[in-house]
Amino acid sequence: MRMIKTFILSGAALAMISGAIVPHAQAKTVKVHMKAVETDVVIDNKGTKYPAWTYDGGIPGQVVRVKQGDTVDFTLDNPASNKNSHSIDFHAAEVDVLNEFAAVRPGHSKHFVFTAKRAGVYMYHCGANPMVQHIARGMYGVIIVDPKTYSKAYPKPDREYVLIQSQYFPDADNYSAMLENKGWTNSLINGKIFNYDPVHDPNATKVLMAKPGERVRIFFVNANVNMPVAFHPIAGIWDRVYVNGNPKNVLYDVQTYGVPVAAASTFDIVSPSDHATNNAIVDHTMSAALRGAITVLMNRPDADPKLGKGDNILLR
Ligand code: CU
Ligand code: CU
């Protein structure tokens, strides 16, 4: 598991309230660095290689995680060894598309800062031309903007997982087919077909785990280029859905929730506490589920205590 490359630059911020200086929750500057890497990656559990375009060499890119109000100090390097221009578009940033999100030619880099003002879960992706190909070839990831505090409306979860779904087009150079939604053969979850599903793929070695009764929070991103996702936990019900990941946008007791292309939402599931169960978290769109978009969540007393915590929220 690659470490999240962030560190804190500055300390407490002060707020002026009624003429007095009152310290409030610390706003930080979080430094994030990415490198565009055009390289082969493995896209299934048996080792099939694909000529991907990536952030830092893997699909998806690193998990960027900040608190609401933090400033992101971002640098993208596009090494001279690459053949293509690349860029980044953080959906959590309110900036100038022609400036911060501009394409970076090989041998150049781009630096910009933005403040993550609105809590939520957001996609990031490459926006270089043709964008459909840069996303389909793997240049996407998630930025989580945590609210300043947990609350009754947004309780602290016991475990957290990131799931990012995308469409796999084996003909990596045929971007017109990508535009027409032709030639996609599989769905990827965090960059692999049936990544966490040993039921449908005996080569799969990983699953999500929790203990019975734990609150499991899933940050889900739809990085498909053309298809919405019908996000459903088989043998369960979403206890809460936070639309766009924002605690203000809460829905209760939802069976299936639609996530459009380039959207993300946060999903809580709580399994029965008195016995072990399993869930299969799927895109209930059958053409996607049976082509790779199924994830097993095991709820059992001996669940690995390291999974779904800290740097283990996106399982590689
Ligand atoms: Cu790119
Ligand atoms: Cu976008």
pLDDT per residue over 80-94, tens digit each? 999 999 999 999 999
Ligand showing the shortest atom-to-Cα distance for residue 133: 1
- 184-226 pLDDT, tens digit per residue, is 999 999 999 999 999 999 999 999 999 999 999 999 999 999 9
In a domain, 308, yes or no: no
167 and 61 within one domain: no
199 and 112 within one domain: no
Cα dihedral sign, 6-8-9-12:
positive
Centre of ligand 2 to C-alpha 140, Å, is 9
Centre of ligand 1 to C-alpha 225, Å, is 14
- 230-239 pLDDT, tens digit per residue, is 999 999 999 9
171 and 138 within one domain: no
221 and 115 within one domain: no
Measured in degrees and rounded to the nearest 5, phi and psi for residue 248 equal: -70, -20
Report the distance separating Cα 104 and Cα 211, nearest Å: 45
Centre of ligand 1 to C-alpha 148, Å, is 32
Ligand showing the shortest atom-to-Cα distance for residue 135: 1
CB-based contacts of 89, cutoff 8 Å, min separation 6? 97, 101, 124, 125, 126, 127
Report the distance separating Cα 316 and Cα 188, nearest Å: 13
Report the distance separating Cα 109 and Cα 75, nearest Å: 7
**How would you classify the pairing of strands 215-222 and 159-168?**
parallel
In a domain, 313, yes or no: no
Contact predicate 115/68, CB 8 Å = no
223 and 172 within one domain: yes
Which domain CATH number covers 136? Answer: 2.60.40.420
Centre of ligand 1 to C-alpha 292, Å, is 24
204 and 77 within one domain: no
- Domain containing 241 equals 159-299
Give, for 176, the enclosing helix (H) or strand (E).
helix 175-179
83 and 197 within one domain: no
What pLDDT sits at residue 24?
53
Of the three residues 89, 117, 146, the one that is the final residue of a domain is 146
Reference 237, options 273, 283, 269; nearest CA is 269
Global pTM exceeds 0.85: yes
Centre of ligand 1 to C-alpha 201, Å, is 30
Cα dihedral sign, 170-89-116-109:
positive
53 and 100 within one domain: yes
What pLDDT sits at residue 196?
98
Centre of ligand 2 to C-alpha 33, Å, is 19
In a domain, 22, yes or no: no
Q: What integer is the mean pLDDT of 155-175?
A: 98
73 and 37 within one domain: yes
In a domain, 49, yes or no: yes
* Bond from prior residue into 130 cis (ω within 30 degrees of 0): yes
Report the distance separating Cα 181 and Cα 193, nearest Å: 18
In a domain, 201, yes or no: yes
Centre of ligand 1 to C-alpha 293, Å, is 24
Ligand showing the shortest atom-to-Cα distance for residue 78: 1
Centre of ligand 2 to C-alpha 300, Å, is 37
166 and 197 within one domain: yes
Ligand showing the shortest atom-to-Cα distance for residue 103: 1
Neighbours of 10 (CB within 10 A): 12
Ligand showing the shortest atom-to-Cα distance for residue 54: 1
Cα dihedral sign, 299-301-307-309:
positive
Q: Which residue has the tokens 């403040």?
A: 115
Ligand showing the shortest atom-to-Cα distance for residue 143: 2
What pLDDT sits at residue 98?
96
DSSP 303: -
In a domain, 7, yes or no: no
184 and 136 within one domain: no
In a domain, 46, yes or no: yes
Residues in the chain: 316
Centre of ligand 2 to C-alpha 131, Å, is 9
Reference 244, options 312, 153, 173, 143; nearest CA is 143
- 91-119 pLDDT, tens digit per residue, is 999 999 999 999 999 999 999 999 999 99
Centre of ligand 2 to C-alpha 269, Å, is 27
**How would you classify the pairing of strands 257-259 and 208-210?**
unpaired
| Residue 25 reports pLDDT greater than 80 | no
213 and 127 within one domain: no
Centre of ligand 2 to C-alpha 261, Å, is 9
The number of distinct structural domains making up the chain is: 2
Ligand showing the shortest atom-to-Cα distance for residue 97: 2
